[in-house]
Amino acid sequence: MTAEVGEVNRIAFLDVLRGVALFGILLVNVFSFGADYPAWWGMTDQLAWQAKHVLFETKFWMLYSLLFGMGFFLQTQSPEYTTARSLRRLSVLMLLGYLHGLLFEGDILMLYAELGVLLLLLYRLPTNWLLSLGLVLTLSFPLGHLLGGDRGDEWPAENAMEAASWLEEDRDYSPLAVGSFTEVLAYHAAFLPERFWADWQYPDSG
């Protein structure tokens, strides 16, 4: 593709990559929609889980994050670009993330919106500064896990029987399984807004 950025509204290749990234994120998350790891106890289940773990986990949100940054760069090259326009787009993204968070506890759109504001503040810095900052932010993931420990969650279960017991309890008592639509919204609303640092340590995506 040889067209300049200003000559086209969309770059098809990037849209295709976004679709691939979203599919990979869905594939990773769909495993957790049904059960946690120990419940996948059959040989075929284990092979599928391990293939997902090795080939897909963390790969696609990294790709999507790269595309997010690339999209931001392309926006800044547009003759119509203004900081106010970017802030409006990020505000819409934050709103969509909040609405998504009312339906699903694994939202990551709000984190993208927050980091988008950080991009607006930093993208004009010299390249050397940005490279150094990128290295620091990259290391912050493992450091966040090391310093922050776990989130107090009781998962993963130690065996398939315990995982199955959790699933049965969820089916019987969880508002996500037996509650009304408004009860589901209220359940998720209790966890909003998400804490930025906790979200940064443990991005819920594929």
Per run of 10 residues, the mean pLDDT along the chain (length 206 residues) is: 52 92 87 63 79 85 90 90 94 94 85 90 92 86 66 58 73 80 89 66 52
Which residues 6+ apart lie within 8 Å of 85 measured at CB? Answer: 75
Per-residue confidence (pLDDT) for residue 98, from 0 to 100: 92
57: helix, strand or coil: coil
Enter the pTM of the model.
0.75
| Count of all residues that appear for the chain in the document | 206
196: helix, strand or coil: helix
What are the structural domain ranges in the chain? 5-201
Give 4-32 pLDDT, tens digit per residue: 444 456 789 999 999 999 999 888 888 76
Cβ atoms of 97 and 113 closer than 8 Å: yes
Give 120-130 pLDDT, tens digit per residue: 999 999 999 99
Per-residue confidence (pLDDT) for residue 3, from 0 to 100: 45
Pairwise CA distance, residues 186 & 179, whole Å:
10
Q: What tokens does 10 get? A: 């969309």
Pairwise CA distance, residues 119 & 188, whole Å:
28
Per-residue confidence (pLDDT) for residue 70, from 0 to 100: 92
Cβ atoms of 179 and 82 closer than 8 Å: no
List C-alpha distances in Å: 60 to 5, 19, 27, 53, 138: 25, 10, 10, 12, 16
